[in-house]
Structure 1
Amino acid sequence: MPSVPPDLAAFLVEAKRRTYAGLDDDATVAAPLLAGSKQLEHRAPPYAYRDIYFGMGFFVGQETVSRDDRVIWSMSYSGGARADITDRPTLLEIYKFLRQGLLGVSVEEPYRGPHLFEQAGMTYRNEVEGTRDRFRGIETIARHDGVPLYELRYSGGLLR
């Protein structure tokens, strides 16, 4: 079983805060590798982070971390807003709140956001199991009155 590089978690936290969580839904590289995708990147040698995803209301994506040009870690994810939430202003409000929650990513669990984040009448929850070498989780956003707004499932780990 491969060992987790000791600086991988710190790099992941930095990369996530400097890409989607710290930017916005329209942040992408000028020419993404896959047509129609959004692509976010961060580099701090020897590591490089890439997040490629498709969609907005419902989306799927994959994050990868390379070390010396070899992919060593990956996480795939899919989810989004409730199917009946289709208007762009509401989607943007949910995803703005999501990004605020994702800024709380930690070195201890460098996958998505914290276990709990509350602000602006919404509650973000993140339940994860496993370790950095193999994990899975689910994050949700609901209004404070309990009405669900968003759900995402993710999984990943060290590649071998």
Structure 2
Amino acid sequence: MPSIPYDLAAFLVEAKRRTYAGLDDDATVAMPLLAGSKQLEHRAPPYAYRDIYFGMGFFAGQETVSRDDRVIWSMSYSGGARAEIADRDTFFAIYKFLRQALLGVRVEEPFRGPRLFEQADMVYRNEVEGTLDRFHGIETIARHDGASLYELRYSGGMLR
């Protein structure tokens, strides 16, 4: 298995905290590459991070990391709030809570949020298998009473 540079994992943590998790859509670039998408970017040479996604209630997207203008890592994801959630306040509360959980991303598993995050009446869980080289996972948000609110699946790894 190829050695994964620690600095790549550290860069991913920094990029995620400085884009969606930390700034929400305020990190969106004005002219996305794909019409109708949200595109978030962070650069710290030699690395550049890009997250492009479509949708909101249910969304799909892809994150990439380039080193010296060559994409070396990618993660695809899709998911969102449960379709029956129609209350706007609940919808926004779920995504605000998600961003708080995602701020807990760690260098040891720099994919999404921590394994467990709890705040107020919500619980975030992240089940992941693999390493930065090749991984897949599922994150969920539920109420403390067990009612499911959100689910997202993701996978990715080093490109070769």
**Bin of the TM-score, shorter chain as denominator length:** over 0.9
Q: Partners of 1:65 and 1:71 in 2: how far apart? A: 6
Contact map agreement 1:2 1:158 (CA 8 A) in 2: no
Contact map agreement 2:27 2:41 (CA 8 A) in 1: no
Alignment of 1:17-28 (within 5 A): 17-25=17-25, 27-28=27-28
Contact map agreement 2:18 2:42 (CA 8 A) in 1: yes
Q: Partners of 2:38 and 2:82 in 1: how far apart? A: 21
Matched, 1:116 2:125: no
Offset of 1:28 from its aligned partner? 1.0
Q: Partners of 2:140 and 2:13 in 1: how far apart? A: 20
Aligned to 1:67: 67
For structure 1, the residue ranges without an aligned partner over 5 or more in a row are none
Matched, 1:39 2:39: yes
Give 3-state SS (helix, strand or coil) of 1:13's partner.
helix
Aligned to 1:100: 100
The code of the aligned residue for 1:66 comes to: S
How many residue pairs match? The answer is: 160
Give 3-state SS (helix, strand or coil) of 2:17's partner.
helix
Do the aligned partners of residues 150 and 25 (structure 1) sit closer, same or farther apart at CA in structure 2, a change above 3 Å counting? farther
> What is the root-mean-square deviation of aligned Cα atoms in Å?
1.1
- More deviation, 18-27/106-115: 18-27
Contact map agreement 1:27 1:38 (CA 8 A) in 2: no
Contact map agreement 1:32 1:38 (CA 8 A) in 2: yes
Seq. identity, % = 87
Provide the TM-score with structure 2 as the length reference.
Answer: 0.96
Aligned to 2:148: 148
Provide the TM-score with structure 1 as the length reference.
Answer: 0.96
Contact map agreement 2:124 2:142 (CA 8 A) in 1: yes
For structure 2, the residue ranges without an aligned partner over 5 or more in a row are none
Q: Partners of 1:95 and 1:135 in 2: how far apart? A: 24
Q: Partners of 2:111 and 2:130 in 1: how far apart? A: 11
Per-residue CA deviation, residues 96-148 of structure 1 (Å, 9 max, x unaligned), is: 00000000000000000000000021000000001110000000000111100
